[in-house]
Amino acid sequence: MGLLSPLFAGQAQGLGHYQYLKAEQQLRKGQLGQYHKTVSKLDKHPLLPYLQANKLRRLFYKTPISELDRFFSQNKDQPVAKLLRRRWVWYLAATQNWRLFLDYIGPTENLSLRCHRVTALESTNHRFDALLEGQALWLMGVSLPKTCDKVFANWKRNGYLSEDLIWQRLLIAQDKRQYKLVRFLQKKLSGTLKKHARLVRSLWRRPFNILNDKRLLTLDGRARTLLITKALKYQPDRLYELAALNLLPGLNEKQLHKIEITALNYAAKHSGPQSYQWYQLAHQNNVLDFELEESFLLGAVKSQNWPLYSHLYKIARQEIKDIARWQYWQARALESLGSVNSESEHFYSLASIERDFYGFLASQKLGISATMNHDPTHVSASILQRIRMHKPVKRAMAFLDIGRISDARREWQYAFNHLDNDGRQALAIIAGRLDWSDRPIMTLAQQESWHDLQLRFPLAHETLFDQAARKTRLSKNWIYGVARQESAFMYDARSPVGATGLMQLMPNTAKSVSRQQRIKYSQKRLLDPEYNIRLGSSYLKQLLKRYKGNRVLATAAYNAGPGSVNRWLKKFSGPLDIWIERIPYEETREYVQKVLTYSTIYSYRLGQLQPIFDRDTLSAWSNISPTILEISKADGRRKNKG
C-alpha cells in the first residue's frame, strides 16, 4: 500500500488541477452555478484562493466592500491578495471612485497609478498633497503615460505650470538624454527661456566647445552646471580653468560640488599625466570615497601606468587591498616593473583564492588549477519536509504543474521572503530536485550563499546543450556560460529591448541565423529551449569564426554587437586582460568577465577544468593585428557603402 500511495496521490493531484482549470473556464463563461459545484470539490486545493479572487474580480461592480475586505484580511500580503488589490485599484480609477481609490492604493511605482492618485487627491480637496505628488512626477524628466495628461492640463488651467517648471524639467530631461521630451518642452517655452533651451541643445551636441562659448555666461546656474559637467566628462583637466573663465559666480555649493566630483571621476577613469595630482585633490577635499579610489586604480590599469598603479595600491584603504581584482593588477604592475618573481607571485596567490574572474586569471598566471571551493547546501530531512508542506510552496508547485511559471515564481518569492535561513536553503534544494533551474540560482543569490556550485550552476537541458556543442563544435561549457549569464535558465526571459529566451536572442539576429542555418524561423519558438539553444549556439559559432577563435571577442560581440567590438579593437589591441578592462560599456565588460568565469565553473562541473583563457583565444589574440583588425576595416568599408 505504501508503494502505491504516491501514485494515487499524483492522480488525485492531477484531478484537482483538472477541476481547478475547469472552474476557471466556467467562471470565464459566466457559468456561476456550475462553477460553485466544481469549487465545492476543491476545498483543499492550494490554488483555491485564486479562484475566489477571480470571482471577486469579475463581480467588482456588485461585490460588497465588506466581502473584499474580508478576502484581503484573510490573505493579507500574499500574492493573490496583492494581485486582486491591484485590479481593484485599477477598477476604482476607471470608475473614478476617488475616495475608495485613495483608501486602497498604497505605495506604488506605477506612473499611471501615481497620476491617478494626483487626480484623486485633487478631486477630494487634498490640493497641496496633489501638487507635491504632481511636481515629483513632473520633475522626473522622463515621458509620462497618457494618464498624466489630465493632471498637467489641470495644472495649466489653474496656473501651476510655470515656465520655470518647464525649464527645470527640460534640463533634467536633457541630462537623462530624453531628447524627444526636450524638443517637446522647448516648444512650450517662450522668450529668453526658449532661446536658452536652443542654446543648451546646441552646446550639448558639441561638448569640446562648451567651455569656450561665451554664451554659457547668459545661462542660469542650473543650465551652466549641466553643460559644465557635460564638458568635463570629455576634458576633466579644464576644471582649473573655470574660475578664470568666470563660469562659477552664481553657482551654489551643491552645484560646485557636482562639477568637482564629475571632473574627479572622469580624470580618475582616464588616467593622464596629472592623475596623482587629481588623486591628491580628491584626498585633500575629503571626497575620495571607495568608488572614486577604485576609479583611480582602474584608470592607471587602462593606461598601463604601472608606477602610479603600484603606488596607489600601496596607499589604498585595506578593503580595496583585499579585493582580488586589485591584487591581480598589483601583481601585473610588479611584473611589468621588473620586480622579483616572488613579489608578483605573492599577489597572484592572494587573488587566486577567489572564485571569480581575477582569481581565475591569477591561477592561470601561476599555472595552477582555478579555485572552486564547492560546498553543497545541507538542511535536514525534517526541514525539507516542512518547507514542502509550506502553503506558498504548495501553491508554487501547483502553478508549476499547470504551466503557470510567472505565478509559480511569484509564490516562490513570497515563500522566500517569509522563511528563515534554513527554510531558504531548503527552497533552493527543492527547486533543484524539481529541475526548476532558475529558482536555485535566484534563491541562493538573494541569500548571498555562493558556494553550492551544483545548485548555482545546474546542468539544465543538458541533452540540448550536448547536441548544440556537437553540431557547432563549440565548448559546451562556453555555451552554458553564455546561457547562465543571459537568462539564468529562465526559458521565458524577455529583456526590455526584446531579447528572448534562454540565450536572449534578438528577433532580427535569430531571423538572420535561422536563414543562414536553413531553419524555419518562428518568433514564438524563441521561447522553446531546443530552438533557442540551437540558434544561440549557431550565432556564437559565427562570431567565433569571425574573430578567428577568440572567445573573448566573440563573447563581447554576442552582447554588444560586432560593430562595437571592431571599434574597440581599432582603439586598443594590447594585452587581453587590459583590453577587457578597457571595454567602454560597463555592462559588456561585466558580461564578458561573468561569461568567462561561468564557463570556467562549468568546465569544472563537466569534469574537465579549463583555464579562463583557452589556448585558441590566446593564439588568436597574438595574431590580432594582421587578422582581426582587417575584419574591422572591411566592416567599416561595407558600412560606408551602405
Please give the full DSSP string across 461-514, using - where no structure is assigned.
Answer: THHHHHHHHHHHT--HHHHHHHHHHHHTT-TT-B-TT--BTTTTB-HHHHHHHH
| 500: helix, strand or coil | strand
* Number of other residues whose CB lies within 10 A of the CB of residue 442: 18
pLDDT at residue 274, as a whole number: 81
Interatomic CA distance for residues 330 and 321, integer angstroms: 9
pLDDT at residue 11, as a whole number: 47
β-bridge mates for residue 505, sequence order: 500
| 494: helix, strand or coil | strand
Please, are residues 51 and 39 in contact by the beta-carbon 8 Å criterion? yes
Interatomic CA distance for residues 224 and 211, integer angstroms: 10
Q: Write the CB contacts of 551 (distance below 8 Å, at least 6 apart in sequence).
A: 478, 544, 596, 599, 614, 616, 617
- In the numeric block, which cell numbers belong to residue 60? 467588482
Among 624, 642, 618, 610, smallest CA distance to 546 is for 624
Q: In the block, which residue shows the cell 583590453?
A: 579
330-339 burial: b if 16+ Cβ within 10 Å, else e: bbbbbbeeee
Please, are residues 500 and 507 in contact by the beta-carbon 8 Å criterion? yes
- In the numeric block, which cell numbers belong to residue 359? 582569481
Amino acid of residue 562? P
Phi, psi of 340 (to 5 degrees): -65, 150
Please, are residues 283 and 258 in contact by the beta-carbon 8 Å criterion? no
pLDDT at residue 1, as a whole number: 32
pLDDT along the chain (642 residues), means of 10: 36 77 95 94 94 96 96 96 98 98 96 98 96 96 96 92 97 98 97 97 97 95 97 91 90 94 88 84 89 94 95 97 98 93 95 98 97 96 97 97 96 98 98 97 97 98 98 98 98 96 97 94 96 98 96 98 95 93 96 99 98 94 60 41 36
Q: In the block, which residue shows the cell 534563491?
A: 443
Interatomic CA distance for residues 119 and 446, integer angstroms: 38
- In the numeric block, which cell numbers belong to residue 642? 551602405
For the chain, count helices (H), then strands (E).
Answer: 37, 0
| 108: helix, strand or coil | coil
Stated as kind and residue range, the H or E segment containing 96 is none
Interatomic CA distance for residues 237 and 503, integer angstroms: 43
DSSP 8-state symbol, 618:
H
Please, are residues 479 and 466 in contact by the beta-carbon 8 Å criterion? no
Largest Cα–Cα distance of the chain, in whole Å? 92
At residue 505's C-alpha, the angle toward residues 499 and 508, to 5°, is: 90
Among 213, 244, 249, smallest CA distance to 230 is for 213
- In the numeric block, which cell numbers belong to residue 543? 562570431
* Number of other residues whose CB lies within 10 A of the CB of residue 374: 14
Interatomic CA distance for residues 50 and 20, integer angstroms: 10
- In the numeric block, which cell numbers belong to residue 452? 553550492
SS (H, E, C) 318-384: HHHHCCHHHHHHHHHHHHHCCCCHHHHHHHHHHHHCCCCHHHHHHHHHHCCCCCCCCCCCCCCHHHH
Total residue count of the chain as it appears in this document: 642
Among 195, 148, 145, 206, smallest CA distance to 170 is for 195
* H helical segments located in 59-126: 65-75, 79-94, 98-104, 111-123
122-149 burial: b if 16+ Cβ within 10 Å, else e: beeebeebbbebbeebbeebeebeebbe
Q: Is 486 a catalytic residue?
A: yes
Phi, psi of 380 (to 5 degrees): -75, 160
Selecting among 260, 354, 486, 590, the annotated active-site residue is 486
